[in-house]
Amino acid sequence: DFGALGTTREDFVAALSARNIGTQVHYIPIYAHPYYQDKYGELSRPGAEEYYARTLSLPLHVSLSEDDVTYVIEQIADVL
């Protein structure tokens, strides 16, 4: 919950980006994709929307070194 951390997801993403840490927002609710909106219209699913608003993917890939992981952790701690 970014609010409980005293920030917003957007500000947190910007702060990490300024430190060369890429983040991504995955798992957009399926009904929010244009295909489903065109087919079924506007829908609201509060649980999915709450989850989506509170999630953020941090770097995770096979070439991430232990030093990279340490750097990400240190920068997150510094931002928060």
pLDDT of residue 69 exceeding 90, the answer is: yes
Residue with the larger pLDDT of the pair 1 and 69: 69
- Domain membership flag for residue 66: yes
CATH of the domain at 74: 3.90.1150.10
- Domain membership flag for residue 46: yes
Average pLDDT rounded to a whole number, residues 45-49: 89
Average pLDDT rounded to a whole number, residues 54-78: 95
Cα(37)–Cα(48) distance, integer angstroms: 15
- What domain range is 63 assigned to? 9-79
pLDDT of residue 42 exceeding 90, the answer is: no
- Domain membership flag for residue 2: no
In the prediction, which pLDDT does 3 show? 87
Number of domains present in the structure of the chain: 1
- Domain membership flag for residue 22: yes
For the stretch 3-29, pLDDT in tens is 889 999 999 999 999 999 999 988 889
Cα(70)–Cα(80) distance, integer angstroms: 16
